[in-house]
Amino acid sequence: MPQPLPPVVLVLAGHDPTGGAGIIADSEAIAAAGGWAVTVPTALTVQNLHDVHRVIPTRPDSIHAMVDALGELPVAAIKIGLIADEATLTAVEKVVQRFPGVPVVADPVVKAGGGTELSTPALCRAYAQRLLPLVDILTPNRYELAQLTPDVQDPDDDTARAVALMSQGCQAILVTATDDPRSGSDQQQITHTLHTPDTTRQWQWPRLPGQFHGSGCTLASSLAARLAVGERLLTSCEQAQHFTWQSLSHGYHQGSGQALPRRFFDAHFFTR
């Protein structure tokens, strides 16, 4: 009997050849949450498990052509990842405007896990001014949050930074604190904070040893898939965090590089 297509998530993000981050990671996280990913690469990257060495932005006309070709598929949510230049930002902005009413999750990729900067102050300003009014929930880490709000001087005032971004039109901010915990916080715990115009909600998770590749992609894409299937925002945030933590705790470790999330940790495709 023919099966209906799961809820479709349109992914606009970079391609990571390792599969740890980027559109491969997005596709796995979305599938694990019961969605179906359709992917439009905004950039190709040259990277490994240590760092990003090069970023090649996709031509804007190619981005639009790929989205046009997917027109028969009913998009139920959008996930945005790496935007490497202002031409790509303009293309993504125009794509999102084609889907009014569809929830949009944006992961503002500003710096690679290995330390390479992937954005500029000018691009961050344009991102905040032009894309955030179209975003339902932004999922920055604390470093990304700071780069998007340079006018807030207190390095620990995440609330002021979140309010500043919501004043630009973004509906909610889920701030993760894995890589840059607040000063004076418990280093054995990770605290993620959801800011909305009406409330603030925090979750704590045990800190896992080591560094991970693609945790932000995993979180944002799992969240997008859950919104696509109709979950409420608070539930989606909580379940996406739980899934991400489990993926990291079951992760694969290869050499001295960052560990890879195991997003199908509860699936058994083969035995050894």
For the chain, the structural domain boundaries read 8-249
Check if the beta carbon of residue 178 is closer than 8 Å to that of residue 258: no
Residue 168 neighbours by CB distance under 10 Å: 17
Q: Is 247 helix (H, G, I), strand (E, B) or coil?
A: helix
CA angle 246, 170, 225 (to 5 degrees): 35
Burial (0-12, 13-18, 19+ Cβ within 10 Å), 12: buried
pLDDT at site 250 = 95
- Tell whether the torsion through CA atoms of 89, 95, 98 and 101 is positive or negative: negative
CATH number attached to the domain at 8-249: 3.40.1190.20
pLDDT at site 272 = 45
Q: How many CA atoms lie within 13 A of 210 on its CB side?
A: 19
pLDDT at site 179 = 74
pLDDT at site 181 = 67
Query: In whole angstroms, what is the distance from residue 268 CA to residue 77 CA?
Result: 28
Alpha helices in the chain (DSSP H): 22-32, 60-69, 86-97, 121-126, 142-148, 158-166, 215-228, 233-249
What is the full per-residue pLDDT of the chain (272 aa) written as tens digits? 888 999 999 999 999 999 999 999 999 999 999 999 999 999 999 999 999 999 999 999 999 999 999 999 999 999 999 999 999 999 999 999 999 999 999 999 998 887 888 889 999 999 999 999 999 999 999 999 999 999 998 888 999 999 999 999 999 999 999 876 666 667 789 999 999 999 999 999 999 998 999 999 999 999 999 999 999 999 999 999 999 999 999 999 998 899 999 999 987 555 44
Q: Which two tokens stand for residue 132?
A: 């955030």
- Give 124's DSSP letter: H
pLDDT at site 182 = 66
Taking the alpha carbons at both ends of the chain, their separation in whole angstroms is: 33
pTM summary value: 0.95
Check if the beta carbon of residue 213 is closer than 8 Å to that of residue 260: yes
Q: Which two tokens stand for residue 230?
A: 């109709």
Spatial strand order in the sheet of 172-175 = 52-57, 36-47, 8-15, 75-80, 104-106, 137-138, 172-175, 189-195, 200-206
pLDDT at site 117 = 85
Q: Which two tokens stand for residue 248?
A: 């990291």
pLDDT at site 261 = 94
Angle between helix 233-249 and helix 215-228 axes, rounded to 10 deg: 140
Q: Write down the residue that tokens 């050499």 correspond to.
A: 255
Check if the beta carbon of residue 35 is closer than 8 Å to that of residue 9: yes
Query: In whole angstroms, what is the distance from residue 143 CA to residue 260 CA?
Result: 21
pLDDT at site 184 = 63
Check if the beta carbon of residue 105 is closer than 8 Å to that of residue 80: yes
pLDDT at site 268 = 58
Query: In whole angstroms, what is the distance from residue 126 CA to residue 165 CA?
Result: 12
Q: Which two tokens stand for residue 202?
A: 């925090």
